[in-house]
């Protein structure tokens, strides 16, 4: 049991990339796996402190050691992937793409952009959903990664590789994408959801590993959940604006977030414990990580857990019925919560 699965408990952008990257470093992971499509971006920090957003590669690509794996459940935009490989300097001996990963074609992006998907449900129109539709239709094997000449140097059997890692008792991190509130199967916000399930069980299935391999399920949350701009669906809690977050958090400058794929202003809302309790019931996490506490209190940064932020964490733990184990205090800060606070929750 050497597998850690990192998933989101809200509507994505909870900071899964940061959590997966830190866990990979701490546990000296042999491999970090990512599934899903190009419709979400994960932010990581390079050893030199540079921030990068990756839509295909796991954030471990920014570090020098772990093997990066794109599993069979991946939907790959070849051009975008090549750009990320070049921008990260990832070498061929550190990237393995499953032969059964599926290719996003230019026509997939065109079909989504030409339709009403963006306006109707706030889709990013990356072509991922259209590619999922073609995969389910089972029209052609030429859409598999094994048929791509450009990706051929990286293609192989990721299941066999990961199984070999586990047989040697090496650590494997699976970096899930998006969040529970966007699950095609389990969200209460259908049809304003993504084109796949986003739970730990689904992510594991897309990777090709067994539930018996899992030692840790990490559910990542954020203090103020977000959704993409436009008609992307409800929150289940009070929707607010970034001016409110700025004022309440005591930020000297206006705080605002943009979506990593479309670069539009994110919608934001109050923390919704009902959604998170639902996510906990389905994912059964052994670890809870709560990010963006610096939004709650501007002084809670770089490892400093202020009294105000500490009170917020305790309130969240009481509301969701499970202790918070890790807290994010800024873009690159993720620290464990002391036992006293966890027990008090």
Distance of CA 250 to the CA centre of its chain: 28
Q: What is the pLDDT of residue 118?
A: 57
Q: Maximum CA pair distance of the chain?
A: 58
Reduce the secondary structure of 224-265 to three states and give it as a string.
CCEECCCCCCCCCCCEECHHHHHHHHCCCCCCCCECCCCCCE
With bands split at pLDDT 50, 70 and 90, how would you rate the model's confidence at 321? very high
Q: What pLDDT, on a 0 to 100 scale, did the predictor assign at position 137?
A: 94
Domains and CATH numbers, the chain: 3-104+145-218 (3.40.440.10), 226-344 (3.90.170.10)
- DSSP secondary-structure letter at 92? G
pLDDT digits 0-9 by tens, 4-34: 999 999 999 999 999 999 999 999 999 999 9
What rounded mean pLDDT belongs to the chain? 91
Q: What is the mean pLDDT of residues 218-233?
A: 93
Rounded mean pLDDT, 94-108 = 94
Which residue did the predictor score with more confidence, 119 or 239?
239
What pLDDT shows up at residue 343?
36
What would the mean pLDDT of 85-103 be, rounded to a whole number?
A: 95
For residue 40, the model assigns a pLDDT of: 82
Burial class (CB in 10 A: 0-12, 13-18, 19+), 93: exposed
Q: How confident is the model at residue 342 (pLDDT cuts 50, 70, 90)?
A: very low
Lowest mean pLDDT among 108-112, 158-162, 243-247: 108-112
Q: How confident is the model at residue 333 (pLDDT cuts 50, 70, 90)?
A: confident
Virtual torsion, Cα 185, 189, 190, 192, nearest 10 deg: -120
Q: Average pLDDT in the 279-299 region?
A: 97
pLDDT average, residue stretch 111-131: 73
| Model confidence pLDDT, tens digit, residues 70-82 | 999 999 999 999 9
Give pTM, 2 decimals.
Answer: 0.94
């Amino acid at each position: 049991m050497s597998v850690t699965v990192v998933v989101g408990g809200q509507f994505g952008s909870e900071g899964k990339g940061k959590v997966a990257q830190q866990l990979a470093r701490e546990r000296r992971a042999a491999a970090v796996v990512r599934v899903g499509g190009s419709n979400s971006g994960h932010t990581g920090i390079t050893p030199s402190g540079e921030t990068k957003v990756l839509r295909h590669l796991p954030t471990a690509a920014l570090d020098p050691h772990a093997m990066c794996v794109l599993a069979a459940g991946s939907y790959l935009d070849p051009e975008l992937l090549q750009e990320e490989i070049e921008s990260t300097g990832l070498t061929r001996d550190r990237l393995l793409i499953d032969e059964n990963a599926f290719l996003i074609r230019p026509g997939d992006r065109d079909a989504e952009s030409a339709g009403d998907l963006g306006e109707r449900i706030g889709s990013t129109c990356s072509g991922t959903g259209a590619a999922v539709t073609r995969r389910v239709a089972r029209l052609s094997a030429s859409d598999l990664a094994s048929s791509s000449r450009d990706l051929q140097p990286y293609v192989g059997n990721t299941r066999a590789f990961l199984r070999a890692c586990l047989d040697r008792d090496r650590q494997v991190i699976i970096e899930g994408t998006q969040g529970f509130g966007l699950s095609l199967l389990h969200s209460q916000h259908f049809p304003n959801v993504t084109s796949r399930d986003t739970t730990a069980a689904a992510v594991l299935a897309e990777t090709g590993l067994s539930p018996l391999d899992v030692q840790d399920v990490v559910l990542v949350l954020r203090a103020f959940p977000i959704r993409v701009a436009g008609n992307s669906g409800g929150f289940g809690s009070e929707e607010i604006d970034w001016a409110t977050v700025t004022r309440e958090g005591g930020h000297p400058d206006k705080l605002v977030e943009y979506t990593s794929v479309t670069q539009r202003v994110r919608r934001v809302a109050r923390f919704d414990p009902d959604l998170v309790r639902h996510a906990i019931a389905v994912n059964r996490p052994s670890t809870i990580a709560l990010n963006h506490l610096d939004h709650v209190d501007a002084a809670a940064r770089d490892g400093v857990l202020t009294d105000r932020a500490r009170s917020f964490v305790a309130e969240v733990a009481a509301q969701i019925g499970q202790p918070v184990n890790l807290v994010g205090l800024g873009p690159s800060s993720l620290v464990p919560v002391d036992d006293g606070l966890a027990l008090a929750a």
